[in-house]
Amino acid sequence: HPLVEDFIVQPYYLPNVGVKIDCHAVAFPPPNITWSFVPLEGGDIIIIK
């Protein structure tokens, strides 16, 4: 799995899934979580489904 830090430039709050992702706190996705990489202005974020 890629490092979250490779894709997130800063923490984002994702109201559609209710998850706040801190790129310095999360390194690898748990095996039961699906990660989606979404390109946004200013960098990519990861949405946890």
User: What are residue 44's phi and psi, to 5 degrees?
Assistant: -95, 150
28-47: pLDDT as tens digits: 555 565 665 555 555 555 55
Q: If you average pLDDT over every residue of the chain, what do you get?
A: 51
One-letter amino acid of 40: L
Containing domain of residue 39, as a range? 4-48
Please state the pTM of the whole predicted model: 0.19
Q: At which residue do the structure tokens 């949405």 appear? A: 47
More confident residue, 18 or 31: 31
pLDDT for the residue 48: 54
- Provide the 10 A C-beta neighbour count for residue 37: 12
pLDDT for the residue 37: 59
Report which DSSP code applies to 45.
Answer: E
What's the structural domain count of the chain? 1
